Structures are given as structure tokens and as C-alpha cells.
Amino acid sequence: MQLYLYDNWERRLRLFTPLRQDWIGLYCCGPTVYDYAHIGNLRTYLFEDILRRTLEFNGHQVRHVINITDVGHLVSDADEGEDKMEKGSRKAGESAWDIAEKFTAAFKADLRSLNMLPPAIWCKATDHIAEQIDFIATIEQKGFTYITSDGVYFDTSRQDDYGYLARLNRDGIEAGKRVELGEKKQATDFALWKFSPTNEQRQMEWDSPWGRGFPGWHIECSAMSTKYLEPWFDIHCGGEDHIAIHHSNEIAQNQACHGTRLANYWLHGYFLQIDADKMSKSSGDFLRLQSLLDRQIDPLAYRLLCLSAHYRSQMNFSWEALEAAQTALGRLRDTYFAYPTGGEADSDYMMRFHAAINQDLNLPKALALMWEVLKSSLHDADKKATLNQFDRVLGLDLLNWHPAKIIIPEEVRNLVEQRRLSRLNKHWIESDALRVEIQQLGYEVEDTPDGVRISKR
């Protein structure tokens, strides 16, 4: 079955054709670890996890890389302002190195809570300074750079197709309207290496052929993706906010250095919104995964909620929708757990599911098929086997879920035993009365072929 993905470079659905037979290169822009990730960030990583699972469902081996930006990401798109790591360090009262370690660990914990597959490679910007310097030196040798008083800049005028990914109209960008021009030749030019300020001591800085300083944000991803996936690989992912600047600049760097646009397919996840406003850290008011846990929401309920919207559509968040997803997840788990094992996945449902996910990850349609299976006339064991296969992509971890163990009070256990004896002796009226008494104590009894099942009401 053929896989189609929406490529933002060509702005159309394209048949996915691997560049090589042995593995698929998948690079996903990781977090800038100056603060916790918010659930809008995590929606993008959920889409990327589904993409990887879909590639593997189609029989591919995936070399999945996620970077950690722990230096060089400035607060301004114009390569001005403070490094976010330095700003986060001051806010937390801890070193930039310590907060990088702290928020990297928190990010990885969030991914585990949402049952995301870990990448094959984690790579930190600060571990790859030499690679970034070498990359900049090659760009310089090919005549694409110039130097100002505050850094080494990429000259975008050297590329006629700069910004093609975002369909930028460079002639229409007025210097000073969106960014301050400063010493830059064009508003679209960007920093490859920033010099350390002479009037302050930075926590993160290195020597380079151009002076002591630190790398620009965009060069990090170009250098690391090229190192681990080669200069021309299959798929590059990120959020929709990366299209116009970060990913356009990555492409410019790789075209200058290697003559490629870096990746054959460019995929982007769209924003999570609250009342039509983009969720953002910059406002200081955002929801973490811990915010959900504080309200007794299972993280996988958030995963289920995200699966209900296509990754290329903006999704509005509400607590009501999340609570409905939590209820739906509970119902799914209880039903799945009660099904016997030993069945076989239904071929018709598998074909329809495969067709849905292979049409640019149509998860809403795939979820509808999941609920259809539950209501179908399939044998229960076959339903379970079919759902097991679906969950290879959906990632709701159904196979490993078990009901919480209930400690039954002795009083209730005694009543259950009395009821068992009443039923054994066919004292039905007494048996019914005991059931009512058990219910009044907050428990339910269910007679199954495997014996009596006791649950809290």
C-alpha cells in the first residue's frame, strides 16, 4: 500500500519514495531547553511520533534524530536580544548548563508519559560546536558570508530561491518593519556565528576562527542533521512556525554548503490554540503536561485528543474536550481489557486502517475505524487482535494497560461470599438483596464465565 505525505516544499501530496533501501532519515527539530515544553509543543512531537510509527508500520527502518538546542537561540528573529538559555538561567537562578540538563530531562519525561518512541539519536548543540564551525567555514569558503561587528552572517542575496519553502517575497519585506536591519545587508540575512559581547561574560561561548562567541540557531540543525543523516536525507519535521525562518535558513545553509535542500520531504505540525490564540511560552502563560496531571488527566487522554485532529489543521484546546477524551480512553481500555486473547486481526479493517494512515496520516479516519471495530460483529478476540495492530500506530499502549488493583474491604468480601452461596443454593431473592447491600457500600458484582468480578461503582 502506497504512502502519501504532504510536502511543504512542493505544497502537495507526494508519494513517499525512500532515498535508500536500508533506512529512512527522519530529523525532528527539538526543544530549546530554557523552560518546560508546553502541550502545544508536545502536539508537534506527537505528530512526528505518529509519522515514525507509520513509516515503521509500512516496513521501513527509521533513523530518527531529535536535537536539543541548548545554546544560540536568541529571543528575536532578527538575531538580536538575549540567548534564551542565558535568560532562562537568570530567571531560574541556576547556571545555563544546569537548566539545560533539567529541562532536557523534563522534556524526555514528557515524551515517555505520552508513549512516544525515543529517537535513535539525541544530539545537543553544545556537543557539536566543532561540526558547526566547520560548516560555517565551508559556507565562508564558497562566498556566502560577511562579517559585522556582532557576528558572521549569511548573505541571502547570493541565492535567488532563498525562502522558497515559505514562498517568501523578499522584495516585499521592508527592513525595520518586522526586524531591525542593523549592520545586516538584507533583512533576511541571518547569523551563523555571534560574537560574545565585550561588556559581559557569557556562560556558553567558544573560540572560533572569527572570534570568541557562540553558534547561530539555524546552523545547529544543519550541522547535526548532516552528521547523522548525511547532507541529503528523507524527511525533516517541525512546527509550522519553523517554515518561514528556521527551516528556510537551514535549507539556505545546506544549499550553500552541499548543494542540497537538506531533506526530500518537509512536514510541519500545526498549532494548538486556546480560544484562537496560539499557545506560547513567551506570554508566560502556558499549559504543561503537569498541568493536566494536576487535574487527574491521564497523559494518554491528551494523546487521544490530538489524534482526533489532522496534524495539518490547527486544533483548539478546551478542558471539556480533554475530559471527554479521558472518558473515551477509559471506555476503550475497559472494553479492550475484557476481550479474550487468541484472535486474529481482521484483514478488511487492517486494509482500511492502512489506507487511512497512508493518506498523509489521516488519524481522525483511523480513530473512527477503531470505534467501528468495537461496535462490529467481529468475535471479541479478533477485535482485540485488530486493535493491537491499530495501536502500533496510535500508540495508546492498550496492551500494557491493566485496571488499578482494588482493595476490597472485608465486609464487602463477606457479602460477596454469602451471595455466592445463596446463588449456589438457588436462593435468588436473598442473592438479589445481597447485591443491593454490596451496591450500597459502593461496589458492583458481575457474574462472568471466569467467576465474580468486583469493581467500584
Does the fold of domain 277-400 match that of domain 4-269?
no
pLDDT value of position 48: 98
Beta bridge partners of 448: 451
State which H helix or E strand residue 63 sits in.
Answer: strand 62-68
Q: What is the distance of C-alpha 404 from the center of its chain? A: 28
pLDDT value of position 74: 77
Tell me which residue has cell 532536557. 104
Q: For the purposes of burial, counting CB atoms within 10 Å of the CB of 147, is it exposed (0-12), middle (13-18) or buried (19 or more)? A: middle
pLDDT value of position 181: 75
200-231 tens-digit pLDDT: 778 999 999 999 999 999 999 999 999 999 99
In 3-state terms the chain splits into helix, strand, coil percentages (rounded to 5) of 45, 20, 35
CA distances from 166 to 243, 268, 274, 314, 453 (A): 6, 12, 25, 18, 59
Q: What is the pLDDT along the chain (457 residues), one digit of tens a residue?
A: 899 999 999 999 999 999 999 999 999 999 999 999 999 999 999 999 999 999 999 999 999 999 999 987 877 766 777 788 888 888 888 999 999 999 999 999 999 999 999 999 999 999 999 999 999 999 999 999 999 999 999 999 999 999 999 999 876 664 444 455 778 999 999 999 999 988 877 899 999 999 999 999 999 999 999 999 999 999 999 999 999 999 999 999 999 999 999 999 999 999 998 875 666 655 445 799 999 999 999 999 999 999 999 999 999 999 999 999 999 999 999 999 999 999 999 999 999 999 999 999 999 999 999 999 999 999 999 999 999 999 999 999 999 998 877 788 889 889 998 998 999 899 999 999 999 999 998 888 888 776 787 887 7
Please give the CATH superfamily to which domain 4-269 belongs.
HUPs (3.40.50.620)
Q: What are phi and psi of 318, to 5 degrees?
A: -145, 150
CA distance 206 to 106: 27
Tell me which residue has cell 532562562. 88
Whole-model pTM? 0.88
CA distance 208 to 395: 44
| Contact yes or no for 396/300 (Cβ under 8 A) | yes
22-60 tens-digit pLDDT: 999 999 999 999 999 999 999 999 999 999 999 999 999
One-letter amino acid identity for 163?
G
Q: For the purposes of burial, counting CB atoms within 10 Å of the CB of 410, is it exposed (0-12), middle (13-18) or buried (19 or more)? A: exposed
CATH hierarchy code of domain 277-400: 1.10.730.10
pLDDT value of position 180: 59
pLDDT value of position 446: 86
- Residue 115 gets the label, from left (phi > 0), alpha (psi -120 to 50) or beta, of left
Supply the DSSP symbol for 126. Answer: G
CA distance 422 to 428: 7
Q: Where are the domains of the chain?
A: 4-269, 277-400, 410-456
pLDDT value of position 255: 98
